[in-house]
Amino acid sequence: MVDKLLEFQDLLQVANILFDFLRDIGFILLKMVAWLVDGLSSGLEGVYKLLNFYNYGPIKDFLNEYNAVIWLMASISIAFFGWQLIVSHKLDKDKIVTNIILAMTIFFVMPWALEQGATLTEAGANLLNNERSSSTETF
């Protein structure tokens, strides 16, 4: 027994009220940080469920139901834009190309980018997901 105490002598010390109090304060702080990490982790699980909101059934049904109206409004806005180009000579025609590229990016590239980002985030979340709480997980 004495051999073990001498072997770990640099790690052991005689009990002291001040050090015990500081150790208890440190333990309470660590428990509070663990509680905070677990709370944030459970909040992130709720956010992960919202990533594929565009694949949610009611949203798909809404978009399918009003698809004709959406394309009709887009056609009317493009026709109005063309009319403004023909009638008005005050437009900055050098900015038109930039605006068209931006609009095409928003309508065609953005859904693809959202799906790729959601897939990547879900893969990362599934990789880190396990049965233990996040505060006790060691990477």
| Contact assessment for residue 52 and residue 118, using Cβ atoms and an 8 Å cutoff | yes
Q: How far apart are CA 33 and CA 41, in angstroms?
A: 12
CA 65 to CA 74: how far, in whole Å? Answer: 16
As for how many domains the chain has, the answer is 1
* 98 assigned to some structural domain: yes
Please list, residue by residue across 26-45, b when 16 or more beta carbons sit within 10 angstroms of its beta carbon and e when fewer do.
Answer: eeeeeeeeeeeeeeeeeeee
Question: What is the pLDDT, as a whole number, of residue 132?
Answer: 67
The pTM of the full predicted model, rounded to 2 decimals, is: 0.50
Q: Quick check: is 25 in a domain? A: yes
**66, part of any domain:** no
In a domain, 64, yes or no: no
User: Residue 41 sits in which domain range?
Assistant: 2-50+92-136
Give the pLDDT score at 29. Answer: 95
pLDDT value at position 8? Answer: 83
Q: Which residues of the chain have pLDDT under 70?
A: 91, 129-139
